[in-house]
A = this chain, B = another copy of it.
Amino acid sequence: MRLRTEQRHDDLVETAFSLDDVPGILWTPTIPAAATTPSPLVLLGHPGDLSRMHPRLLARARSCVAAGFAAATLELPGTGERPRHPDADRARADLRRAVRAGEPVPDVVVDRLVLPLVEQAAPEWRAALDALLARPDLRGPVAWSGGIISLGVRMAVVEPRIAAAVLFAGSYVPRAIVEEARTVTVPLLVLLQWDDEGNDRQQALGLFEALGSREKTLHANTGGHTGVPAFEGDDAARFFTRHLRPAPEVSGQPTSLGDRPVTRRNTSANAPGLR
């Protein structure tokens, strides 16, 4: 792992790196106390092009660091400063043409666009994990957070160091990945924008249904693709805390908490079917 630049903010240090010519970014806490304890790592997924995505990735990293985690991301194949993938570019053009014409996007176009990307990216992110977790200030288990959902699913399946994942619901998921989703076992939080103009809601709900994890939660919010409410950032941080920091203060909560949620049971002799 070659360090390229380091930028210090009030709340975090941003380290640009490259690994076998793949650019990446690591965000770690600046607080001295945190330096003595390794931070669990959150991998930030994104749709590609680190420089374009940087403001939003930085905001997400800031949220992670504020909650006691480090965050890292990697450029996707064929995007940003990485060499283009002509076949993916052609598939992307075909997809756009179909969407503009209001036609269904053929499965084969989705496969050509997504599958090679996932095939190439997953080993790169795993190699980055090897390099990152070798640092004394970082530790596993780690979490996946964000899109693209196909890569999140693949990573959750193949990478045993991933203990939990926040997935952003998206369309254009290859059927092979939907099948793969059935084998995911880690706890999941899936975010869905209910009125997402570019997202097929039934497909997204179908993918949520397909995901194999015993513990999975869907958070659906009104609003379009960019309208994810601010409180979902906090919810994601709490989800990571639950699964990456099984700390004494959590397991030491009053046992009444365990009873609390059982508030919807309906064994009423008086009001069956009413909840």
Interface residues of A (CB under 8 A from B): 46-49, 52, 55-57, 59-60, 62-63, 76, 78-80, 92, 95-96, 99, 105, 113-114, 117, 146-150, 168-172, 191, 193-194, 198-199, 205, 208-209, 213-222, 225-235, 238, 242, 256-275
Contacts and interface: CB of A to CB of B under 8 A. Distances in A.
Q: Which of A60, A113, A199, A273 has the most CB of B within 10 A?
A: A273
B217 A221 contact: yes
Given A48-B268, A222-B215, A171 B92 contact: no
Given A59-B256, A217-B222, A227-B261, 13 more contacts: A47-B274, A47-B275, A48-B268, A48-B271, A52-B267, A63-B260, A79-B268, A96-B273, A170-B274, A170-B275, A194-B218, A205-B205, A215-B229
A220 B221 contact: no
A210 to B, nearest CB: 12
Contacts of A205: 205
Contact of A99 (B199, B232, B260, B273): B273
Given A59-B256, A218-B220, A235-B235, A228 B262 contact: yes
